[in-house]
A and B are shown apart, each in its own frame.
Chain A
């Protein structure tokens, strides 16, 4: 959907306030998504995951198969998909490119080694609802829980 100006207006100053240098030094912050097409097209069914959360190979595989995206149809016009892939790959992080999911990467499973029931609570629903537990997930902050 079209960007809601009032949401943007709230988010922007809050972000400016939140980005205190204190966070940047502790490896709990990843650069937030700064690419309009990625934010919009990859942010409607779940939050737009930051590029650094997956290695380049995983992003390429995901972007190469949007019509069967974990069982959903997430297809996009070719030009849009190419632009998004370029952005994600350029900012990619480390991990196992054979695994498409963030939640299957070894580092992620290590950090979330707790009872599966915490993910099925009604206010969480899914492991990939990062923002349900990490309030700053949209901005790349994962230190809180």
Chain B
């Protein structure tokens, strides 16, 4: 029998790994549950309808060069974005295209903490964060 090359073996093992869609789903839900709890009284669910204009802008108050999340993440959430200054590719924000989006709370909080002030001139509220993730989860 032919020996399987180590390289091929690596590919095979790897092919089995990304089947953790359920894990991604659960991690996103945990993050959303946290924002829901933080949203305070009167919270009646997150809305993709509100998340969309947050993503597309334009907004005032932040840096003039970045009036929208879409400036770097592109207006089409399914497309590859580019950092407006460095040109670096940014994988699509749409969960359908990048399945492990919004699955690490530390990562999500770090980026909201940088990107919201750059665009809005202030932090995003828990409601806005949940709306944003909800919009992109459906894209």
Binding site for B on A (CB under 8 A): 1-2, 4-6, 8-9, 12-13, 16-17, 44-47, 72-74, 124-126, 128-129, 132
Contacts and interface: CB of A to CB of B under 8 A. Distances in A.
Given A73-B114, A125-B82, A5 B18 contact: yes
Interface stretch (B29-37, B41-49, B99-107, B127-135): B99-107
Contacts of B87: 124-126, 128-129, 132
B85 A126 contact: yes
A9 B19 CA distance: 13
B88 interface: yes
A16 B10 CA distance: 11
Contact of B88 (A2, A12, A45, A73): A45
Interface of B: 7, 10-11, 14-15, 17-18, 82-83, 85-88, 91, 98, 100-101, 103-104, 107, 114, 117-118
Contact of B100 (A4, A72, A132): A4
A139 B55 CA distance: 33
22 contacts: A1-B91, A1-B100, A1-B101, A1-B103, A1-B104, A1-B107, A2-B100, A4-B91, A4-B98, A4-B100, A5-B14, A5-B18, A6-B14, A9-B10, A13-B7, A13-B11, A45-B86, A74-B114, A125-B87, A126-B85, A126-B87, A129-B88
Nearest to A41: B110
Contacts of B114: 72-74
Given A1-B101, A13-B10, A46 B18 contact: no
B109 to A, nearest CB: 12
A46 B14 contact: no
| Among B86, B100, B101, residue most surrounded by chain A Cβ atoms (within 10 Å) | B86
Contacts of B7: 13, 16-17
A6 B21 CA distance: 13
A132 B11 CA distance: 27
A65 B26 CA distance: 37
Nearest to A128: B86
A9 to B, nearest CB: 3
A98 to B, nearest CB: 23
A10 B28 CA distance: 25
Contact of B83 (A4, A9, A46, A132): A46
A4 B107 CA distance: 13
A48 to B, nearest CB: 10
Given A2-B100, A12-B10, A129-B87, 4 more contacts: A1-B103, A9-B11, A46-B83, A46-B86
A73 B15 CA distance: 37
B64 to A, nearest CB: 12
